[in-house]
Amino acid sequence: MIIKKQTRLRGEIDIPGDKSISHRAIMIGSLAAGTTRIRHFLTGADCLSTISCFRKMGIQIEQRSDEILVHGKGLHGLMPPKAILDAGNSGTTTRLMSGILAGQRFDSQIDGDASLRARPMKRIMEPLTQMGAEIKSVSGEAKLPLLLSGRTFPLHAITYHSPIASAQVKSCILFAGMYADGETSVAEPVVSRNHTEVMLNSFGAKVTTQNRTAAIAPEPVLTARDIMVPGDISSAAYFLAAGLITPESEILLKAVGMNPTRDGMLRVLREMGADITVLNRNDEAEPYADLLVRTSSLKGTVIEGDIIPSLIDELPMLAVLAAFAEGKTIIRDAKELRVKESDRIISVTNGLAAMGADVVPTEDGMIIQGGKPLHGGIIDSCLDHRIAMSFAVAGTVCEGDQKIKGADCVKISYPDFYDHLNKLSES
């Protein structure tokens, strides 16, 4: 994909549905009694992998033009899959579904593409094993493929102290806790996104939270409901950034999710001097609002500590944005970036260096000295959707053409990304 410099970006964008919430709606809807209707579902490749996996376990899922219908069969209604459950590129599918599969009375196997096979699974294997689940890695390296054997009924309730703040780990354990013999709880060093807790409670489960600990009571009776998926703030991040750094720009982003465990990027952008106005806020279980962003003069900042889990997926875009800000930006405490779809610390620093930026990688982040004129380069996306989109945004303001290798990987989370970017440039 070749991205050319733009003189301005203007218009409205309907941000695609939140990926995290879309995954969970399929999973929990499958375990609920009745038909769950999901509007504004994200039809990216990752979420379609989740649909495919649950169809293989006997769940009827209808994809209509304006909604998804999940005909759930209750907590114990899944059927033994006749084929390997292929999670594609989706870590969320793999880790969350493992918690559900650990409580079933049948054997199953999960696999994925080459990128997913490289991602760590020990973080879920250890707590599930503590609960009595039989889960092992075919390779013996705590990576995909994973084999789960239906042998332990029920699972053992545990109190797990997670060494990392990870919504995927937390959700995996909470899902397994539905099939346990007592209350299961997860304590985190920092609170991660809470979409699982919010949605489970809305379906009728009993999930309680206190400080950094979430707990679930076993054997919940889940009842189907209608779900409106808000726009994904991780997808909105690219157009927030584009609107801030492209001259004479004004972009309205519609119905963006404003969950307080996910809004870290907005807090950081305001510290950097961003002109962002929140409009038409709707405070449902998953709050959302329209965001109006205008061109701004940005300054460097320090991003570290407790805020990191609330913006971990937005850090590649923030790092690229920092190269266009005045002064130094330091990112710390983000070692988790090394085990995403790519090593995002390396992917981002290599991309910025190709554009002529002053950037130094560290073990848990990077240091970016902003304000230096940047030029277009040849960017290797590493088949990582967030790297491709971050550097596409950079291409709208740098001198010369920005060439992105493997640019089609955006289909994982934002299939219409390039069309939306072109729409704004033509307004």
In contact, 242 and 296? CB cutoff 8 Å: no
What order do you get walking across the sheet with 358-362 strand by strand?
Answer: 302-303, 327-331, 365-370, 358-362
Torsion of CA 214, 219, 220, 224, to 10 degrees: 120
pLDDT value at position 284? 84
Of 315, 332, 259, the residue nearest 289 (C-alpha): 259
Q: Which residue stretches of 246-343 are H helix? A: 264-271, 315-322
What value does the mean pLDDT take over residues 261-289?
96
DSSP secondary structure string, 355-406? Answer: TT-EEEEETTEEEEEE----B--EEE-TT-HHHHHHHHHHHTTSBS-EEEET
Burial 175-202 (b: 16+ CB within 10 A, else e): bbbbbbbeebbbebeebbbbbbbbbbbb
DSSP category for residue 92: H
At 77-97, the pLDDT tens digits run 999 999 999 999 999 999 999
Q: Active site includes 313?
A: yes
Residue 218 DSSP SS3: coil
- Residue 382: half-sphere exposure toward Cβ, Cα within 13 Å: 21
**How far is it, in rounded angstroms, from Cα 221 to Cα 233?**
31
List where CATH 3.65.10.10 sits in the chain. Answer: 2-16+230-426, 19-213
pLDDT value at position 258? 97
Residue 312 in tokens: 């971990």
In sign, the C-alpha dihedral spanning 53, 56, 60, 63 is positive
- Which amino acid, residue 383? L
19-213 carries CATH number 3.90.1150.10:
no
Which CATH code of 3.65.10.10, 3.20.20.70, 1.10.150.120, 3.30.930.10 fits the domain covering 2-16+230-426? 3.65.10.10
At 216-264, the pLDDT tens digits run 999 999 999 999 999 999 999 999 999 999 999 999 999 999 999 999 9
Q: Which of 46, 263, 313, 380 is catalytic?
A: 313
Residue 322 in tokens: 């920092």
At 34-72, the pLDDT tens digits run 999 999 999 999 999 999 999 999 999 999 999 999 999
Measured N-to-C along each axis, helices 233-245 and 385-395 cross at an angle, to the nearest 10 degrees, of: 20
**How far is it, in rounded angstroms, from Cα 216 to Cα 199?**
12
